[in-house]
Structure 1
């Protein structure tokens, strides 16, 4: 009996410890956004006097509004393009037999092991030739292409779990292959589609390396690059505004997670468990 109680105690203690480790930095950032002053020396965990001036100055003294719109537009377009490419590729690899299929799958598996920024020198050179530098569409192309290797394997595993008999029944009724994909595969694959869409929507909000290299000009920055510029130098360190920006950036991501939480869990579990 005491072993069972000890096990329950240790599990609860671990959960409490992890919760503290996760929540303390989050609460600290939120509280810092309401602090007066600009740097860490004037910020405290519990503000002596709350103020909303950091949120006001965030939009009036900086180009945060442009950064936010840039990230939002890139994230939205990237989610649609990436999901379309991933879903079509996974469907073809799951449902059709053709020469080189196994080699292609292994190639995708190998490519998924390498982070996209390793090829940034070659990619940047290509963008210069194609005159895509300092254009948001360049980020969409790069993110969408980089999302294919890992996510195709994940989505293919999910589609493999959908009975082929559904496709065959549709073909017998006279449905075309693409119409079967659109009306049968896509609706059933909603959980994994939502997972891919949310993960690709988050990419532009979190990434710093690629936007910093491809985009230039203060108004063309994404929120990650723009917020970092607030604290990148000792002379221009503005931590409390940075904290306010971090809170604003977290809002759309948090809302998406709350809305699609059920689909996210279903998608990642089902996609990883199918063969």
Structure 2
């Protein structure tokens, strides 16, 4: 009887925790969606359930008065470039660290581990000066380069750990059949590493869409703004009170993320539970 009571208490506590987490996650989301459907622009007259539903804010975002489409395009360019570049660079570097022995391999891994402890913002002054020197300040290309370089250490550790779990006998069998290094990498390693590479692709696609600090420092021209910087101006400019437009623009950010997630969904579960490094 006591054991049954303890089990019920444990289940009740678990459900209460899940309920609290659900409220914390979904309440702000529901408020944002409700705010985007409210008429007017003030935050104080908005409600969770709008009395008069309106799509006027979504229509305004795609009108000629707004630069939202341009910011959306800039964000997609940066996110897709970072996603594709990260997958290519990370898979090549991780393959080299996982399969080959070379001078400085262990020290290189330690350096990658050390670099993960410091955020990119700590080097922002140096990066700002470097981009200014090479003429890439206030450009999407410069922003992409910073994202790519900043994510290499973490991504390499993650993917290398997954590559280490792939039996080396597969490599050896392929080489016996005459396959070269690139053939082994392309035909054996990459297909088997789809789960972890999907995780890398999703995370690196999402990061530029949500990041505000880095683009706000690197970019200064409104024509180069990403979504985070552009939407911030809706509520930051003097006399600006466009909270409902801000909410509508924020809701639409979820569309490409949901699309990428659905496309990679079948690989993500395996990738999220893998990638622990081992030597």
Superposition TM-score, scaled by structure 1 size? 0.97
Q: Is residue 2:41 matched to residue 1:42?
A: no
Q: What is the match of residue 93 of structure 2?
A: 89
**1:46 is paired with a residue of what secondary structure?**
coil
The count of aligned residue pairs is 275
Q: What is the match of residue 181 of structure 2?
A: 177
Q: How far off is 1:166 after superposition?
A: 0.5
Q: How far off is 1:237 after superposition?
A: 2.1
Q: Distance between the aligned counterparts of 2:73 and 2:245, measured in 1? A: 18
Segments of structure 1 that go 5 or more residues without pairing to the other structure are: none
Q: Is residue 2:138 matched to residue 1:103?
A: no
Q: How far off is 1:137 after superposition?
A: 0.9
Q: What is the match of residue 147 of structure 1?
A: 151
Q: Give the conservation status (yes or no) of the 8 Å contact 2:128–2:218.
A: yes
Segments of structure 2 that go 5 or more residues without pairing to the other structure are: none
Superposition TM-score, scaled by structure 2 size? 0.95
**2:276 is paired with a residue of what secondary structure?**
helix
Q: What is the match of residue 129 of structure 2?
A: 125
Q: State the Cα deviation string for residues 71-103 of structure 1 (Å, max 9, x = none).
A: 001111111111111110100000000111111
Q: Is residue 2:48 matched to residue 1:51?
A: no
Q: Is residue 2:230 matched to residue 1:229?
A: no
240-249 vs 262-271, which moves further: 262-271
Structure 1 residue runs of 4 or more that deviate by more than 6 Å after TM superposition: none
| CA RMSD in angstroms, aligned pairs only | 1.2
39-48 vs 175-184, which moves further: 39-48
Q: State the Cα deviation string for residues 19-76 of structure 1 (Å, max 9, x = none).
A: 1111110000000000011121221111111111011112223200000000001111
Q: Is residue 2:210 matched to residue 1:209?
A: no
